[in-house]
Structures are given as structure tokens and as C-alpha cells.
Structure 1
Amino acid sequence: MKLAYLLYLDVEKYDGVTNKVVTQIETWVNQGNEVALFCIVPKLPSTQTSLARISSITTIIEEEKVLGASAGLLAGWFKSDKVQKLLINKLAAYNPDLVYYRNTAYSSTIRHINKRFITVCEINTLEQAEYKLQRFNSVKYLFRYLHYTLLHRFAFNEVNGVVGVTHEITDQIKKSGYKSHTAVVPNSINVSDYLKPKTIEGSPSQIPKLVFIGTPGMSWHGVDRIIKIAESTLSQLEFHIIGYSKGDFDNPPPNVKFYGVLPSGETYKVISTCHIGIGTMALFRKEMEEACPLKVRECLSYGLPMILGYEDTAFITDSATRKANYPDYVLKLSNQEEITQEDVNKVVDFCYKYRDTQLTFEDVAPFIDVHLLETKRLEFLKRVYGSTRG
């Protein structure tokens, strides 16, 4: 197939997502498809990003500015949008069989693309719940929530297929009245790019070290719940938090170390000194039970056993009942506000049991490897294309 991948993203700020997209595209190409990436950015990258790996098939277009700032949601609705015309002309010149895009704010640009091309949209969250939760964080988030509330009903009217990264997301799309093709394909990672031995210093009897990677302002990450566990395990466990600073919390306990935001190379240096990874711990705050975070996949690929506070799509074995079958190296905690003493005991026991465990490719690849999951996605794209072309 001849595929166009459309991406609206600050590729410097969100290089983890950028890397996911690049890995997807590399896999599609390796499976015999012709692919081009069309990337709309708020500003041109000033440093090298993951896009460098596919620069020969990438077109980067900078958004227009309004009063010196990115037009963002305004572009294409409240003024003439040169970017819209440029993008659609470039897509038309490429003439793809299908346009695949990560869901973005609905705009006239997306409307025109959906009308002109066969399209499949990827959705990565329960958008209404997330936008509602963040609406008072800033004026930008409030405007995003209002924009979504007013226009989301039109977003999928002319989309030929929808890929949800979880069953929960796909269910919501169906309940909203969407009648066309849907599929569930969780986030994936190229496991072989990550597997490296741990470089933990000290004796095997040392206190287990746990690592969490997150982003400030996202309360569903549940770092406050991790800190509660830390407060109950002062002499038993040591916690390393990447993405947050000590000043983000009031009087955190001494067994928690904060690193702030780190580049990927520095992130690995921290991960490699830890025994156990921690995933999202408060997904209930945006009314969700199920997720498939990229950071969890990174930790698994680095060989770390995991503690999760949600249902991970990778381990769900029955799509109808959402029954999950977790391997022994994953500890699943409840998705609720309270941290019980039973939860704390489970965490301590798990950490000491798996402190010296290094997961292998064979352990994690069947659940999260890009080659398996992108094959499933490509099969879906072919079905959508075939049924739409008749």
C-alpha cells in the first residue's frame, strides 16, 4: 500500500511519541509498503529528533502564527490557512491509497482531508474525560476542552476507520454513534532497540529501587499515590521519579529522588540503576480503567518487572470481558484513590521477589513488540482500503 502518515505534534517536546511514530513507519516500510510522513509542528525543530531516521520521507510544515504564537486550534477556522492548502496540495501530489493520522483537534484541515482521502484515525485516550480534567490547568487547556465539546460530534463523520489503542476507547467511539470500521491495536515498541543489562551497583541484598517516568500536570500519573507508598516503606524501598521535581510536592519522604525532565539518554542511565518499573497509578482520575503507556513499554523493554495501577491492553486476553492474564513479572494494583496496607505489602513483597530479575526479549516481545502489533494494524488498514474502494 501507499500510505501517508499525518502527525500534528511538537516533535521536540514529545520525542517519545515521535519515536513511536517513526518506529511504526519503519515497520510499515520493512513490510513492503511505501510511506511518507507529513508532520505539522508549532515550530521547526532546533535539535535533532527521532525524525532524523526517516528524514528522506518526511515533510515538515510549520504552523502559522497568531500574534507571534502558534495558531493551533484557530488555524483553518477563523482565518485563511496557508498551511491547510500547502498540506492538502502535498498530500494530493503524493496521492496515497490511505491517510493515517493520530487524532488531533478537529479543524477544517481535517475535514477537507477526510472528504478527499480514505482516512484512518488513531485515538490514544478518552478525550472528553482527559480534556475535562485538565480544563482549568491553563487558558490553552480550557480552550481545548471548549473546542472539543463544541466540535467533537463532527470529528469522525467522514473517517473511514478508527484505531483505538485500548478497548475502552474503541467502545466509546462506537457508543458515540460511529458505524464504520474499528480496531484495537495497543501501543508498541521495538523491543530489540532497548534490551540492555542493568548496571546496578552494590550487593544483591540492597534495597530495591523503583523508577517512574511521567510528565508534570498529568494528575492521572498518580505520583502522589507513589509517594504515599514511599512514606510507608522508608527503610524498605527507594523511589526514583523522572519528569517531576521535588518542588512539585509538599515534604516528600527521603526515600524518593526526583530528576525533573531528562533527555532519553539520561533517562536510561537512571532506569539502568533500578530494579522495578512503575506505570500509571491514578487512571481513575480521567474515568479510565485501561491504558497502554509508552513509558511502561520502555521499562519492560529495558528488562524491568512492572507495577501497574490500571488494566494494560497488552495483557487482555478476552476483548468481550476485558479479562487480563498478567505474567508473574507484573504486579497489578487496584485503580482507586486509596492506598491500603495490603497494597503496600504487595509492593514490598513483589519488589524483593523480582529485585534481581532481568526480563528477556522472549518475556516481553509477545505482548508489546512493534513487529507483531504493526502487522495487525496494517491488516486493518488493508481491510478499510479494500472495503472503501469496493
Structure 2
Amino acid sequence: MKVLHAALMKHAYSGILNQMTWEKQVAIKQNLDWDVVLYVNQCESKFLPSDIIHVWDGSHRTVDSICSWISIRRDYYKWLLEQSYKYDLLLVRHSFVDPFQSLFLKQVKVPVYLVHHTLEVPEIKLMSKGLKSILKTNMESFFGKISINNAQGVIAVTNEIFEYENNRVGQKFKNKIIYPNGISYNDVNLVDNRADSVPELLFVASYFNPWHGLDLLLNDLKNTSEKFILHIVGNLSQADKLIAQQDSRIVLHGHLPSSEIQRLVSQCWIGLSSFALFRQDMQEACTLKVREYLKNGLPVYSGHKDIFPQDFNYYKVGKPDFESILEYARNVRDVERNRISESAMPYIEKELLLKCLYSTLEHIVV
């Protein structure tokens, strides 16, 4: 079975690029007939060399944003339609608010599975306001439903997302396919520099969006006088920054290179994940940051479900209050890093996840 996994992105975001690069590396290692392409605008990808990136060659033709939006989609789906004749199956990352995708799905002759990473309409409502939000919401509701209806099936990173997409088309799909985000274990470097007295906590994001719930965590500072250090890595809103700067237990690092984040990981007792997915009408997620924590032997305290079973001791779901967070940090303080990393591997290692997906698709695709 020859497969192409393709995604159209304006920016070659590092997380998405890593996911798709690891996927291609696994396919080569496992001798799978599986290609991966990230189709991006030339100006966004020129500093990100990668053999999976297909650079759109039309960015020089127009500078108008609306024309560019139309042109890149027209060219992407034309290219994808041409490529489809070489494959038995296409996996296409769902494109938001995209009438061109729905037209493509009516034309293509091979089976196409749409890959979904979020609840699209709730995310649009959170990230945009006013008339723009209404327009994009209505377009996604209409064209997104057409796209899903014309797809062979849906692949989602969580059970919640699959159920949401399937509900959009009246529970049309009987085969539930879950393909969580994964991480490469090729470069595991477990270093343990934890202190024995004061708990150190780590919260990492590129930018702390509303669904991260950093504001909820900071609001709980007033409820505890316990000693700890909370390392916050990434950019904050001005409101969150003002609160954080008033508490000596908070250390704001801004953006850091991976080597510096690794140094913090070695010092910390646990990592923190999002606490406000409810702002996107979500209860589940499988973020790359959680996988990076666990791979490096760092237990996780989070406000949302992930793909881990309830008896997995190194991923704790709880509220954004420091009393519960510090209790969990002390409970897992003495667990060795390698034990945590190895225990998480069956749930987050990219090679295992892709092998499972390929096997599933082989059995159900006709």
C-alpha cells in the first residue's frame, strides 16, 4: 500500500515539521511505502531545510494576502491531484475554512482520509472575534462538513476530536482511527539534577494562549505560601506577566533554545501542561510538549486528558492549584528518569504509533 501524507501550511511551524519529519524517518526505517510532504509558502520555509518540504513556487506572483490565500490553495490541490495517481491512499491534514479542499475531494479518485488535530469551529471562535469570526465559523461549518462527507474517513489525534468530526456528518464513519502525536526516541538524554528540598516546576509554550490557562494558575499563587520555583518558558500576555513578576517564586525565561530547556528539565520535578482547554470546548489533547517532558523522564501534571490510561502514574490530571500540583510533585520525586521515559514510550514513540496506523489502514482500506 503506497501512502502520501500531505499538509498545507502557511508557516512551517517547528512542531508540525518535527512530527512529519519523524514520520518520514520511521517510514524509511520500517521500509514502509509512505511519503510525507509539507506544502508551504516559499517565504516561510527558506530557512527550514527539509526533504519533506514542498515549496510553493507562486509566492512571487502576488503580494495581496487574499490573492495569495487563493493561489496557494489552487496550486496545492492541483499538485495534490496530480500526485494522487501515484498512490493507493492519501492522508490530508484538514485545512480550515477551505472551499478548495472540498472541491478537491470531489475530484480525487483514490481514497482520502482527513487528519484532524483540533475542534475547528470552537478554535475559530476562540482565536477570532466579531464579523471575521462569524464568517470563518460559517464557512468552516459548511465547507468542512462537505469535505468530511467526501472523505473516505477521519483520522484524529484524540478520541474526542474523532467523535466531534464524526458527529458533523451524522456518525458516518464506523472505523475509529486515532493517531496521536508522537516523538522520536533517537536522541534521549536523561539527566537528573533535581534538588532535594525546593520543588521546581516547568511550564513551556511558545506563547501562552488562553487555552493554556496560565492565568488560572497564576491566580492561585495567593492561596499558597509554600516554597517552590515555577519556571515559565515562552511569551506571556502583559496581564499574566504583571502577576508573575510580583511573586519571587516565578522565574520568567522568555524564549529559550532547546539546550537551555533541557537544562531546566534536568532540574525540575514535574512539567505542567494546559489548564483551560474548556475555552476551546475541549477536554482532551495530545501535545508535543507533554511528549517531550515524558521522553526526558519528567512526569506531567495537566488540566486535560491525554491518550494515557488511568493507571499511568506519570501523567496526572488535576486542577490548576498549587496544593495539588506540589503534592503530586512530591509523590513522583524519587522515581528515576529512565523509568518514566520507558513507561511512556509505548504511548508516545513515533515509530510504534506509525506502525499501528499503517497496519490499521491496511486492514480497512479497500
Give the C-alpha shift of residue 146 in structure 1. Answer: 4.3
In structure 2, the CA distance between the partners of 1:212 and 1:265, relative to structure 1 (3 Å rule), is: same
Map 1:138-287; keep pairs closer than 5 Å.
144-176=136-168, 177-180=170-173, 181-200=175-194, 203-205=195-197, 207-216=198-207, 218-233=209-224, 235-245=226-236, 247-249=238-240, 250-252=242-244, 253-287=247-281
Residue in structure 1 matched with residue 7 of structure 2 by the alignment = 7
User: Percent sequence identity over matched residues?
Assistant: 23
CA deviations on 1:72-96 (whole Å, 9 max, x unpaired) are 653478xxx344434433x146x11
Note if contact 2:208-2:235 (Cα within 8 Å) is conserved in structure 1.
no
How much does 1:326 deviate?
3.6
Shift of 1:11: 5.0
1:318 matched to which residue of 2? none
1:60 pairs with 2:55: yes
2:326 equivalent to 1:348? yes
Matched, 1:126 2:87: no
Q: SS of 2:337's equivalent? A: coil
After superposition, the C-alpha distances for 1:208-241 in whole angstroms (9 at most, x for unaligned) are: 1111122436211111122134444454221111
Q: Which amino acid aligns with 1:285?
A: R
For structure 1, the 5+ residue unaligned runs are: 316-324
1:215 touches 1:243 (CA, 8 Å); kept in 2? Answer: yes
Distance in 1 separating the partners of 2:18 and 2:327? 35
What's 1:23 paired with? 22
Q: SS where residue 242 of structure 1 aligns?
A: strand
Deviation for aligned residue 1:359: 3.0
Q: Which amino acid aligns with 2:129?
A: F
User: How far apart in 1 are the matches of 2:27 and 2:166?
Assistant: 27
- 1:124-156 alpha-carbon deviations (Å, 9 max, x no partner): 1111111111122996x6764343134222121
Q: Distance in 2 between matches of 1:44 and 1:261?
A: 20
Distance change >3 Å, CA 3–CA 137, structure 1 → 2: farther
Amino acid paired to 1:228: N
Aligned to 1:357: 335
Which whole-Å CA distance do the structure 2 matches of 1:150 and 1:73 have between them?
19
Q: Is the 8 A contact 1:24 1:374 kept in 2?
A: yes
Q: In the alignment, is the contact (CA less than 8 A) between 2:113 and 2:154 conserved in 1?
A: yes
Q: How far did 1:313 drift?
A: 1.8
CA pair 211-143 structure 1, distance change in 2 beyond 3 A: farther
Contact 1:88 1:113 in 2 (8 A): no
Could you say if the C-alpha distance between residues 263 and 118 of structure 1 is closer, same or farther in structure 2, counting changes exceeding 3 Å? farther
1:61 CA displacement? 2.5
Q: Residues 107-122 of structure 1 correspond to what in structure 2 (within 5 A)?
A: 107-109=99-101, 111-113=103-105, 115-116=107-108, 117-122=110-115
TM-score by length of 1: 0.81
Identify if the C-alpha distance between structure 1 residues 158 and 113 changes in structure 2 by more than 3 Å, giving closer, same or farther: closer
Q: Is the 8 Å Cα contact of residues 275 and 356 (structure 1) preserved in structure 2? A: no
Deviation, structure 1 residue 296: 0.5
- CA gap of 1:351–1:159, structure 2 versus 1, over 3 A, is same
Closer/same/farther in 2, CA of residues 219 and 138 from structure 1, 3 Å limit = farther
Does the Cα contact within 8 Å between 2:39 and 2:56 map onto a contact in 1? yes
User: What is the correspondence of 1:297-316 to structure 2 with a 5 Å cutoff?
Assistant: 297-315=291-309
Give the direction of change, closer, same or farther, for the CA distance of 1:344–1:83 in structure 2 (3 Å limit).
closer
- Give the C-alpha shift of residue 268 in structure 1: 2.6
1:362 aligned partner, one-letter code: E
CA distance in 1, matches of 2:311, 2:70: 44
d(CA) in 1 for partners of 2:362 and 2:92?
15
Letter in 1 for 2:93: R
Give the unaligned 5+ runs of structure 2.
Answer: none
Q: Is the 8 A contact 1:366 1:372 kept in 2?
A: yes
User: In structure 2, what is the equivalent of residue 370 of structure 1?
Assistant: 350
> Post-superposition shift, 1:377?
1.0
Number of residues of Structure 1 aligned to a counterpart in Structure 2: 355
Distance 1:217 1:353 in 2: 27
More moved, 63-72 vs 164-173: 63-72
Compared with structure 1, are the counterparts of its residues 265 and 17 closer, same or farther at alpha carbon in structure 2 (3 Å cutoff)?
farther
Provide the rounded CA distance (Å) in 1 between the counterparts of 2:106 and 2:31.
Answer: 25
CA distance in 1, matches of 2:188, 2:256: 17
1:74 to 59, 70, 73: 70
Deviation at 1:330? 2.8
Equivalent position amino acid for 2:258 in 1: S
Q: TM-score, normalised by structure 2?
A: 0.85
